[in-house]
Every structure is written in structure tokens, then in C-alpha cells.
């Protein structure tokens, strides 16, 4: 009756009509529409990673804008939710690359994520299929644009990796085998070069490794042990590097490539074991076998460790072929040295904790595939065992563990030098 009221009703109806014109599209897609279920940011000097996890694969495109520098990601077929809105609050002031992040519903069908950049970056944006506990992930890696920093070859290697120059299954064909004089004893005497030790704390970033019953994370434990080892090895007179010194995901192939770039004399990957049965415990040392595992437990372990690239998340790159005949010859000598190194370390660790077995176990670990560097993987203890989790959580055990591995390394290097005199 009232014209005004009628007009208001008309306006309301029009408003509803506007909504309705959108809603059928949303309804039609509702069954399949992706939902954002988690967002994470992993800030690090080498690169910062942003992960958007969703219930379905995300349909995205991205571009960069200058003045000011931004990376824009448009994701189609999704609706903004509180999970995605929380992304901006997760940016740390100390992030080397990200100044801020905003997310908004740009069109009824498209969510736009704008990343304000502090510096010029080389962005790598890619989707990952579900694996382990993760659903569909959209990963945004922000690499520094200039990787000329010779002090940290990790950045250059990550850049090579992101461009497909290093495969995830071992070493890149671009890096020739290192043929160096044998390591001198740790000392600086006689002007001979110091032995170089590459420490590889496993996992990191998106990949937590194994998680103990009370929540202790393998990636944190092994980084702490590696840092303790570096202190000791530096004091012993070696040159020591870490494949990662941050909570960052580093692909297995890049870890190996970093060791080769530094011309490492030994490579030691540090881990903490886990098993479905919480009573499993003890320390183990592993070396590479390309011709089958020496036990089914070792094979199982290698398979789970090699999954790290899937869990941590790498852009799929082509596998490069290498001259397998030359590789095999080099590998035979290296395997012998790896076993000698492993046995030394195992003997020292046996003074600290119960061992699985008295000898070095072997399987096809991707991270041990440097054809020219004696390489071992140390499973310090079982993080899935409540008692050993408590040990791994204590700084005194970590220090003892670091000392034991360092003692083994020193004995191996000293012996290797004696054998060549
Ligand atoms: Zn591990």
C-alpha cells in the first residue's frame, strides 16, 4: 500500500536478485568448490615459502607488479574464508622478502592474494598433490633475484634447482665429480687444506619429519644436534657447513649438490627415527646401497626418508641422466669409505645408546647419493619412543650425541690420512 515501502521492497528484491544471480553458480560448484583449510609462512634467508592448503586443487594464476613491488595470485572458483584472511597476520617483521599480505574476494568467483615485497624476487608458484597429512597445496616460493652471494652457495643451488638444473633424485649432472687431494688431518699444519665436513640436519619447513608422542619435532632436534656438531668440528680444526641452518625445506638433491659444491670430504645426514610400535628404540647408522637394501627395515627407512621431497614440497623437475659407468666406479670406492666412516660413528654412538645392530645398514637413500663423498645417515634415536623422545629433548643428550658423532668423524679422517701416507 505504501509506495515508499513498496519501493523499499523492490530495492530489497533487486538486491536479493543480485545475490541470486551469483548464488546458483556457487551452488552448482558447492560440492566441488575448494575450501582453504590452512595457511603457513616459512620465512628464511635462502627463500620464503607461503603455503595455501585447500580441500581441492586450486586453479590459480599469478603476476608481479612494480612500484611498489607486489606478487598477485588470483585463485578461481573459491570464496574467501577466515583461514585465508588469517594469512596477513602470519607475516613476520623479520621476513626477508614479504612486507605484508592481503587477501580479498576480487570477483564473486575469484580470490586475490597480494604479497607486498620488500625486494625483487624470483617467484616460483606451483601446486602439490596430497601427501602424508597434507591436502592440496599451492606453494609460493620467493627466491632472491640476485644469487651472486658467493658466501652462501645454497642460494645459488636453490636457484639452479628451481630452474630444473638439479634433479631431486641426487646430484645434478652440471656439477662434475670432485677430484680433490685426500683430506689432510683436521689441523692447519703444513699449509694443507682443512678437511671439509657437510652436516645435513634432515627435514625442515613444511616437512617436520617424525613427531614424538609429546610433540617433539625431528626437524628441530636434528638442527640442534647439527649446530652442536658444528661448534665441535670447527674447534677440531675442520671446515664445517650445514645444508640448512634455518627452519626451511631443502630438497634432497640440493643437499647433495651443496656438499659437492663445497667439495666436502664427508657428508653426515642427521635424523631421528620413528616407528608405529612405540617400543622400538636405539641408534642406527646407514650408508648407500644402490643394489638393494641390506635389511627390510633399512629399505623401509630409505623409502620414508626419500619421501621428504614430496612432503616438503618440490616443483617437479626432469631427471637428468649421468654417465652411469663412471658413476658406478666412483661409487664403489665411495661406498667403501662410507662404510668405514659409518662404522667409526656407530662405535662412538654405541657408547652412548643401545644400537640396532653392530654394523652399518644399507639402502638406497637419495640424500646419500653423492658419487664422490663418503656419506652416512645417522638415526640418533627413536623420537616415537617416549623414553628416547625425552632424551632427544634434553640438551645434555644432544650434546653427547653431537660429541660422539664428531669423535667418529675425527677418527675416520685421521685414519684415512694415515692410510694414504
Ligand atoms: Zn628423518
Spatial separation of the C-alpha atoms in residues 29 and 41, rounded to whole Å: 29
Domain assignment present for residue 362? The answer is: yes
Instruction: List beta partners, residue 115.
Output: 71, 101
Q: Distance from the CA of 210 to the center of ligand 1, in angstroms?
A: 6
| pLDDT score of 306 | 86
Give the pLDDT confidence of 32-66 residue by residue, as tens digits.
799 999 999 999 988 999 999 999 999 999 999 99
Q: Distance from the CA of 316 to the center of ligand 1, in angstroms?
A: 21
Q: Distance from the CA of 6 to the center of ligand 1, in angstroms?
A: 69
Residue 314, C-beta contacts closer than 8 angstroms, at least 6 positions apart: 161, 168, 251
Domain assignment present for residue 321? The answer is: yes
Give the pLDDT confidence of 68-116 residue by residue, as tens digits.
999 999 999 999 999 999 999 999 999 999 999 999 999 999 999 999 9
User: Are both 178 and 109 inside the same structural domain?
Assistant: no
Confidence of residue 169 (pLDDT cuts 50, 70, 90): low
Give the pLDDT confidence of 388-409 residue by residue, as tens digits.
999 999 999 999 999 999 999 9
Q: Distance from the CA of 202 to the center of ligand 1, in angstroms?
A: 5
Q: Distance from the CA of 295 to the center of ligand 1, in angstroms?
A: 18
Q: Distance from the CA of 113 to the center of ligand 1, in angstroms?
A: 34
Q: Distance from the CA of 411 to the center of ligand 1, in angstroms?
A: 25
Q: Distance from the CA of 250 to the center of ligand 1, in angstroms?
A: 13
Q: Distance from the CA of 269 to the center of ligand 1, in angstroms?
A: 9
Contact assessment for residue 22 and residue 87, using Cβ atoms and an 8 Å cutoff: no
CATH of the domain at 176: 3.40.630.40
Q: DSSP assignment of 286-320, as one string?
A: EEE-SS--SSHHHHHHHHHHHTHHHHHT----PPP
Contact assessment for residue 241 and residue 373, using Cβ atoms and an 8 Å cutoff: no
User: Are both 136 and 257 inside the same structural domain?
Assistant: no
Contact assessment for residue 394 and residue 323, using Cβ atoms and an 8 Å cutoff: no
User: Are both 188 and 119 inside the same structural domain?
Assistant: no
Q: Distance from the CA of 234 to the center of ligand 1, in angstroms?
A: 25
Q: Distance from the CA of 273 to the center of ligand 1, in angstroms?
A: 6
Q: Distance from the CA of 2 to the center of ligand 1, in angstroms?
A: 74
Break the chain down into helix, strand, coil percent, rounded to 5.
35, 25, 40
User: Are both 116 and 259 inside the same structural domain?
Assistant: no
Contact assessment for residue 205 and residue 294, using Cβ atoms and an 8 Å cutoff: no
Q: Distance from the CA of 252 to the center of ligand 1, in angstroms?
A: 12
Strands 239-242 and 284-288: unpaired
Give the pLDDT confidence of 147-156 residue by residue, as tens digits.
555 556 677 7
- 26 or 20, higher pLDDT: 26
Q: Distance from the CA of 204 to the center of ligand 1, in angstroms?
A: 10
Q: Distance from the CA of 179 to the center of ligand 1, in angstroms?
A: 30
Domain assignment present for residue 261? The answer is: yes
Q: Distance from the CA of 320 to the center of ligand 1, in angstroms?
A: 25
Which domain, by its residues, includes 135?
A: 36-144
Over residues 202-227, the mean pLDDT reads: 97
Q: Distance from the CA of 255 to the center of ligand 1, in angstroms?
A: 14
Give the pLDDT confidence of 188-206 residue by residue, as tens digits.
444 467 899 999 999 999 9
Spatial separation of the C-alpha atoms in residues 355 and 165, rounded to whole Å: 39
User: Are both 137 and 244 inside the same structural domain?
Assistant: no
User: Are both 133 and 161 inside the same structural domain?
Assistant: no
Domain assignment present for residue 3? The answer is: no
Q: Distance from the CA of 88 to the center of ligand 1, in angstroms?
A: 31
Reported as type and span, the H/E element at residue 91 is none
User: Are both 159 and 64 inside the same structural domain?
Assistant: no
| pLDDT score of 153 | 66
User: Are both 178 and 321 inside the same structural domain?
Assistant: yes
Domain assignment present for residue 26? The answer is: no
User: Are both 163 and 220 inside the same structural domain?
Assistant: yes
Q: Distance from the CA of 298 to the center of ligand 1, in angstroms?
A: 13
| pLDDT score of 333 | 82
Q: Distance from the CA of 376 to the center of ligand 1, in angstroms?
A: 13
The residue from 144, 164, 193 where one domain ends is 144
Domain assignment present for residue 129? The answer is: yes
Spatial separation of the C-alpha atoms in residues 32 and 60, rounded to whole Å: 16
The residue from 87, 112, 144 where one domain ends is 144
Q: Cell for 207?
A: 616437512
Q: Above 60 in pLDDT, residue 140?
A: yes
Q: Distance from the CA of 182 to the center of ligand 1, in angstroms?
A: 30
Q: Distance from the CA of 209 to the center of ligand 1, in angstroms?
A: 5
Q: Distance from the CA of 211 to the center of ligand 1, in angstroms?
A: 10
How much is the mean pLDDT over the chain? 84
As for how many domains the chain has, the answer is 2
The residue from 94, 119, 144 where one domain ends is 144
Strands 239-242 and 196-201: parallel
Helix axes 395-419, 218-236, angle to 10 degrees: 50
- 232 or 302, higher pLDDT: 232
Over residues 12-29, the mean pLDDT reads: 41
Q: Distance from the CA of 157 to the center of ligand 1, in angstroms?
A: 22
Q: Distance from the CA of 272 to the center of ligand 1, in angstroms?
A: 6
For cell 638439479, name the residue: 166
Q: Distance from the CA of 305 to the center of ligand 1, in angstroms?
A: 6
Over residues 373-382, the mean pLDDT reads: 96
Q: Distance from the CA of 178 to the center of ligand 1, in angstroms?
A: 27
**Per-residue b or e along 42-70, where b marks 16 or more CB atoms closer than 10 Å to that residue's CB:** bbbebbbbbbbbbeeebebeeeeeeeebb
User: Are both 133 and 168 inside the same structural domain?
Assistant: no
Q: Distance from the CA of 76 to the center of ligand 1, in angstroms?
A: 36
| pLDDT score of 151 | 55
User: Are both 176 and 136 inside the same structural domain?
Assistant: no
Q: Distance from the CA of 347 to the center of ligand 1, in angstroms?
A: 21
Q: Distance from the CA of 38 to the center of ligand 1, in angstroms?
A: 24
Domain assignment present for residue 330? The answer is: yes
User: Are both 160 and 140 inside the same structural domain?
Assistant: no
User: Rg of the chain over CA atoms, in angstroms?
Assistant: 26
The arrangement of strands across the sheet holding 110-117 comes to 59-65, 70-76, 110-117, 98-107
Domain assignment present for residue 14? The answer is: no
Q: Distance from the CA of 200 to the center of ligand 1, in angstroms?
A: 11
Instruction: For residue 225, give the 3-state DSSP assignment.
Output: helix
Q: Which of 38-42, 184-188, 277-281 has the lowest mean pLDDT?
A: 184-188
Q: Above 90 in pLDDT, residue 177?
A: no
CATH of the domain at 135: 2.60.40.3500
**Per-residue b or e along 277-294, where b marks 16 or more CB atoms closer than 10 Å to that residue's CB:** ebeebbbbbbbbbbeebb
Amino acid at each position: 500500500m505504501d509506495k515508499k515501502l513498496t519501493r523499499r521492497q523492490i530495492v530489497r528484491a533487486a538486491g536479493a536478485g543480485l545475490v541470486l544471480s551469483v548464488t546458483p553458480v556457487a551452488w552448482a560448484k558447492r560440492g566441488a568448490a575448494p575450501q582453504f583449510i590452512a595457511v603457513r609462512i616459512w620465512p628464511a634467508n635462502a627463500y620464503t615459502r607461503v603455503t595455501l592448503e585447500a580441500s581441492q586443487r586450486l586453479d590459480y594464476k599469478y603476476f608481479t607488479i612494480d612500484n611498489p613491488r607486489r606478487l598477485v595470485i588470483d585463485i578461481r572458483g573459491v570464496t574467501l574464508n577466515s583461514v585465508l584472511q588469517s594469512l596477513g597476520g602470519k607475516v613476520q617483521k623479520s621476513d626477508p622478502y614479504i612486507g605484508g599480505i592481503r587477501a580479498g574476494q576480487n570477483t564473486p568467483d575469484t580470490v586475490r592474494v597480494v604479497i607486498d615485497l620488500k625486494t625483487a624476487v624470483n617467484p616460483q608458484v606451483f601446486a602439490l598433490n596430497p601427501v602424508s597429512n597434507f591436502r592440496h597445496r599451492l606453494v609460493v616460493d620467493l627466491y632472491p633475484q640476485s644469487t651472486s652471494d658467493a658466501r652462501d652457495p645454497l642460494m645459488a643451488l636453490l636457484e639452479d634447482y628451481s630452474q630444473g638444473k638439479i634433479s631431486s633424485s641426487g646430484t645434478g649432472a652440471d656439477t662434475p665429480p670432485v677430484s680433490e687431494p685426500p683430506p689432510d688431518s683436521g689441523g692447519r699444519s703444513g699449509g694443507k687444506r682443512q678437511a671439509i665436513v657437510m652436516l645435513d640436519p634432515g627435514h625442515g619447513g613444511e616437512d617436520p619429519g617424525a613427531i614424538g608422542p609429546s610433540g617433539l619435532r625431528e626437524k628441530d632436534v636434528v638442527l640442534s644436534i647439527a649446530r652442536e656438531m658444528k661448534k665441535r668440528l670447527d674447534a677440531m680444526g675442520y671446515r664445517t657447513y650445514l645444508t640448512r641452518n634455518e627452519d626451511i625445506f631443502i630438497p634432497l638433491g640440493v643437499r647433495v649438490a651443496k656438499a659437492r659444491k663445497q667439495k666436502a670430504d664427508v657428508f653426515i645426514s642427521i635424523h631421528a627415527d620413528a616407528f608405529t610400535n612405540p617400543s622400538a628404540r636405539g641408534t642406527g647408522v646407514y650408508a648407500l646401497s644402490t643394489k638393494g637394501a641390506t635389511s627390510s627395515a633399512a629399505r623401509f627407512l630409505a623409502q620414508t626418508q626419500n619421501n621428504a621431497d614430496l612432503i616438503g614440497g618440490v616443483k617437479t623437475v626432469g631427471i637428468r641422466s649421468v654417465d652411469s659407468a663412471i658413476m658406478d666406479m666412483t661409487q664403489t670406492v665411495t661406498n667403501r669409505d662410507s662404510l668405514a666412516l659409518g662404522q667409526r660413528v656407530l662405535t662412538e654412538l654405541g657408547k652412548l645408546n643401545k644400537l640396532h645392530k653392530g654394523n652399518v645398514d644399507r639402502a638406497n637413500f637419495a640424500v646419500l647419493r653423492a658419487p664422490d663423498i663418503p656419506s652416512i645417515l645417522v638415526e640418533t634415536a627413536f623420537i616415537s619412543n617416549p623414553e628416547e623422545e625425552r632424551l632427544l629433548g634434553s640438551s645434555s643428550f644432544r650434546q653427547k650425541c653431537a660429541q660422539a658423532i664428531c669423535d667418529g668423524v675425527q677418527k675416520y679422517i685421521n685414519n684415512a690420512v694415515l692410510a694414504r701416507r
